Amino acid sequence: WLSVSEILAVSSNICTTKIYERLDKQRLYEWVQRFHFGERPPVELSGATAGVLAPWQKWSDIQGANVSFGQGMTASPLQVAAAFSVLANGGIYNPPTIVRQVIDTEGASIPLDRPEPERVVRISTADTVLEMLESVVHTKLGTGKSAAIEGYRVAGKTSTAQKANHKDGG
């Protein structure tokens, strides 16, 4: 038996699956979507991708469990960074951007049409999860100890990547 903090620290897929089983497919899907997985980030990069997140109604029990620990879906590094930034920003999702300002030929700033920041989780929830993610780096059990930087608060999450192999159809 592990606490949620310990589950994150040791990166337990089994325990994450047990949490998923208590949530159900639809609730997990809704939470994954709240962090904007499965949609293209509104960033000024033509190659930005939505990743792959199948509708929850199409998930098998195994796929739902896999989504719970991040292997039943795909996400770009930008999407992952934007999701982690929700926690660092007190629960607010700020759509990623690389353009600060556009200036016309007269030197005037052209207003940009950007999505508004939105609250994804409460501040207290973001703070709690950040503390848990720090335990991944700063505790004896944590699997991310090598990311620690003396004098800095570092939070993180380790995982086991699984690459799609298009040669065999997977």
Nearest one of 28, 18, 1, 10 to 157, comparing CA atoms: 10
Q: DSSP assignment, residue 75?
A: -
Question: Quick one: which of 121, 116, 114 has its CA closest to 35?
Answer: 121
Maximum separation of any 2 CA atoms in the chain, in Å: 65
Read off the tokens for 45: 């990069």
Helix ranges, the chain (H): 4-10, 13-23, 25-34, 61-68, 77-88, 123-138
DSSP 115: P
Neighbours of 27 (CB within 10 A): 12
This prediction's pTM: 0.84
3-state SS assignment for residue 11: coil
pLDDT at 161: 63
Q: What is the spatial distance between Cα 103 and Cα 113, in angstroms, rounded to a whole number?
A: 14
Q: Which helix (H) or strand (E) holds 118?
A: strand 118-119
Indicate the length of the chain as a whole number.
170
Quick one: CA torsion of 23, 29, 33, 39, rounded to 10 degrees?
160
From first to last of its 170 residues, the chain has per-residue pLDDT tens of 899 999 988 889 999 999 999 989 999 999 999 999 999 999 999 999 999 999 999 999 999 999 999 888 999 999 999 999 999 999 999 999 999 899 999 999 999 888 999 999 999 999 999 999 999 998 888 889 999 999 999 998 887 666 666 665 55
